[in-house]
Amino acid sequence: MKILTTLFATGFLLSAQSASASPAVDALLKVYSDAGAGPFSAKAGERMWTEKHNHAETPLERSCSTCHTSNLTDSGKHAKTQKAIKPMAPTVNAKRLTDTKEIEKWFMRNCKWTFGRECSAQEKGDFLLYIQK
d(CA 94, CA 68): 16
Selection from 69, 106, 93 nearest residue 21 by Cα:
93
Name the residue type at position 7: L
Scan residues 48-77 and list those touching ligand HEC (CB under 6 A).
Answer: 62, 64, 66-68
Name the residue type at position 101: K
Selection from 24, 123, 133, 20 nearest residue 64 by Cα:
123
Residue 114 engages ligand HEC in binding (rule: CB under 6 A): yes
- In the complex with ligand HEC, which residue's Cβ is closer, 33 or 63? 63
Residues 74-113, mask of contacts with ligand HEC (x by CB under 6 A): ----xx-----xx---------xx----xx--xx--xx-x
Where does this chain bind ligand HEC (CB under 6 A)?
A: 62, 64, 66-68, 78-79, 85-86, 96-97, 102-103, 106-107, 110-111, 113-114, 127
